Amino acid sequence: MESFLFPKRMVHRMLNPVDWSVVVAGRWNRAILTPAGIVQRVFKESPDIPMVIEVPIDMLAPPKIGLNDVSVVADWSRLVISADKPLWKLLERSASLAINTINELPQTPLQAVAFNVGYASNVHLDELDCFVKNPLDNKFSDQRLNMESKTVIRSMQWLGGSVNLTVMRKFEGEPNSTNQFADQVLFNIERKSDKVEDHVAWLSTTMQTIRDLIKSVFEECFLIETDHYKEVTE
């Protein structure tokens, strides 16, 4: 039988920061948030400023508008503002742009706002075993049911909102997967509300506060030390 003991000492791990973004869930009007509308209302720039526009091949999904290392996608149900580089200053800017949009379109019904911060490893991390392993895994294996991937989620209350912590583990041989990472740890730091002031307050959370949260989970819960959450600046 496999052991499910917690790690006993802190270890340093090289993790790749991935998928840093701010999401505002609501009923967005894509007729307003056209590429030119995004530049004016989200970025607060002139619509003739040079920008990067990525249009999906199938033409069904909305275009991605990029400017100054931040990209915006406006769907009918959510606004996603992504940091093109996983830097705290760009995540902070993404939150500021989200506030711009909320203030520019105050009649938009909103449901939730969230920070998404992800980390990934090219190898399986022993320190995450206590989170993803389950005694049932052995029983599945006994029935010749070989695991291809796992996703484990914990949702926890935090500062009036919630932290949805997802750990995804991929095993060799998983078919049709574009995910090349063995382990991923994703933080979805969310506030649900129907009040604009709650959304703006959540998006005004300092990067230091978010960094401290992530640091505490890695170091106090997983006993993993990594460099990427240590510096708020580039």
Instruction: Tell whether 233 is covered by a domain.
Output: no
Q: How far apart are CA 209 and CA 26, in angstroms?
A: 25
pLDDT tens readout for residues 70-108: 999 999 999 999 999 999 999 999 999 999 999 999 999
Instruction: Tell whether 150 is covered by a domain.
Output: yes
Q: Report the pLDDT averaged over residues 114-123.
A: 94
Q: How far apart are CA 112 and CA 114, in angstroms?
A: 7
Is residue 115 classed exposed, middle or buried when 0-12, 13-18 and 19+ CB atoms within 10 A define those classes? buried
The helix (run of H) or strand (run of E) holding residue 41 is helix 35-41
Instruction: Tell whether 39 is covered by a domain.
Output: yes
Q: How far apart are CA 48 and CA 188, in angstroms?
A: 34
92 or 126, higher pLDDT:
92
Instruction: Tell whether 2 is covered by a domain.
Output: no
Q: Supply the range of the domain harboring residue 178.
A: 11-225
Q: How far apart are CA 155 and CA 166, in angstroms?
A: 9
Instruction: Tell whether 57 is covered by a domain.
Output: yes
pTM of the full structure: 0.88
Tell me how many domains the chain contains: 1
pLDDT tens readout for residues 59-69: 678 999 999 99
Instruction: Tell whether 120 is covered by a domain.
Output: yes
